[in-house]
Structure 1
Amino acid sequence: MSAAGEFEFRILASPVAASDQAVVASAMRLPPEEKQLAIGGKVVAKWVGGLKDGNGPPNLLVHRQAANAFETLVLIDSHDVTGVYFTSVERGPGQSPAHPGLRIELNAKGSRLLGKLTAANLPTATGERHALALILDDSILAAPTIMAAISNTAIIEGLPEEEVDSLISIMNAGALPLPVCEAPQP
């Protein structure tokens, strides 16, 4: 028996944010087979599957080539916002009809946690920005730049229509445990 992968929201480590510099420097020294960075016995960052073709928000990515995989560094926080807090995932308003938004609704606890996570990572007066990575099974699906605190509803814009539809299907299935059973033999 197995379960579907779990979604999580994490902050991308920033190569320019002063607050991330020590973590980034330590993570860059990890050998490719090591995926998690612990400092003082606490996991503070991990390497996950990178964004498609290594693309992502400009100046907001810390990445490495590990074996045959492109990896991106994400920070581990105490908020631990995962797909268990999703109440619905659907199309939402976007930049244009060809680029609809991905609308994610969260329950009360998830709203509180996501609100704290995004409020702590708003753009600074000096222009530093962070991106919020939407991760499935340690691979980043999307990583929009955080422009405002997000609580009960997250809308991710800038994705192609077919990617929005695909993410909706995956996310609506992914938060539920899906047992894998052998088919009966005739």
Structure 2
Amino acid sequence: MKIAVVAANGKAGQAIVEEALKRGLDVTAIVRSKNKSKANKVIEKDLFDLTKEDLSDFDVVVDAFGAWSEDQLHLHSVSQKHLADLLSGTEKRLMIVGGAGSLYINPEHTVQLVDTPEFPEIFKPLANAQRQTLAEIRERKDVKWTFVSPAADFQADGQRSGHYILAGEEFTVNDNGQSTISYADYAIGFVDEIENGRHIQERISLIGK
């Protein structure tokens, strides 16, 4: 299995590259500037300049793109659409690093976490941008996508416990009543999904035990 990790220089991208390499998978980092990940195979090219030919050798393409400033949040949608268009009509899978704000908090799936009073105002613009990307990718029946949301507390420097809980569309907490996961444990669940491909055209979520 050949995997391309787009935006591999980001923290999530680096964690996914590292986890995939630990399992002996064939990983290529796609980065805009000098490679910071542990991948030995590298394509140095801007995401928006990628072509179908660039991705032709891969079985799975990971979209780990992230933008944080408000003037660039729209690029979540633009970048996801670009990658989806490149993979349209193929057997290649698109694995998307998503956000937690779009998780539902009720069984009717009418209210999302970002809409609750407790959701921090500072994170709402990013959460809304990621909610939009989920809504947009749901409309793509021509792409084998999987959208992977982390827990609400997504810890870049958290420890690798080696364990996680696989959940679905709804906001979930662990036995301690917490919704938290380290990037390292998220990467374990993410690469598990890369390997088993059990949730095509679905959103899943991962939380730490």
Q: Which structure has the larger Rg? A: 1
Q: Greater RCO between the two (CA within 8 Å, min separation 6)?
A: 1
Determine which structure has the larger helix proportion and give its number: 2
Q: TM-score, normalised by structure 1?
A: 0.32
